[in-house]
Amino acid sequence: MNSFIDYVTAHQFTAGVCIFVAILIIYFLFKRLIKLALFLILIIIVVTGYAYFKESDSMPKSIHGALQKAKEETRMVVEKGRGVYDSVMAIFEERRKPVTDYIDKITEQDKEAYKKKKPSPADEIR
């Protein structure tokens, strides 16, 4: 074992190759494990979905109640969100006109100032 360690420390290229091979082996092992985990999660989702659709009548009342409550609260949140969106858009439309008018005024002033300015040789485009 000592001779192997001495050989690897004496030849850095060999150490680099060993490290590279070890990283490749670890990568491919984890790649397979991740694929396996994703596959198992997919199977669990499919099985629970099938059980839900097949046996939905025998589900406990509390789960149905929880789903109903979640639907109602989601609807309420969406309605509140629409109200906020509408009020923000109203404020935006109200404030947009003066700002765009001001920007147009400034750009017109710049255009007029540029026309009045006598062009110098440095201003010419080559």
Over residues 55-97, the pLDDT tens digits come to 766 656 667 777 888 888 888 888 888 888 888 888 888 877 7
| Residues 48, 71 within the same domain | no
Instruction: Answer for the pair 14, 7: CB distance below 8 angstroms, yes or no.
Output: yes
- Give the global pTM: 0.31
Residues 39 and 33: their CA atoms lie apart, in Å, by: 10
Number of domains in the chain: 2
Q: Among 39, 58, 77, which residue terminates a domain?
A: 58
Tens-place pLDDT, residues 8-57 = 778 888 888 888 888 888 888 888 888 888 889 999 888 888 877 777 66
Give the three-class secondary structure for 122. Answer: coil
| Residues 18, 69 within the same domain | no
| Residues 14, 31 within the same domain | yes
Instruction: Answer for the pair 8, 18: CB distance below 8 angstroms, yes or no.
Output: yes
Q: Among 58, 74, 100, which residue terminates a domain?
A: 58
Q: What is the mean pLDDT of residues 100-124?
A: 74
R_g (Cα) of the chain, nearest Å: 35
Positive or negative, the CA dihedral 52, 55, 57, 59 is negative
What's the pLDDT at 42? 92
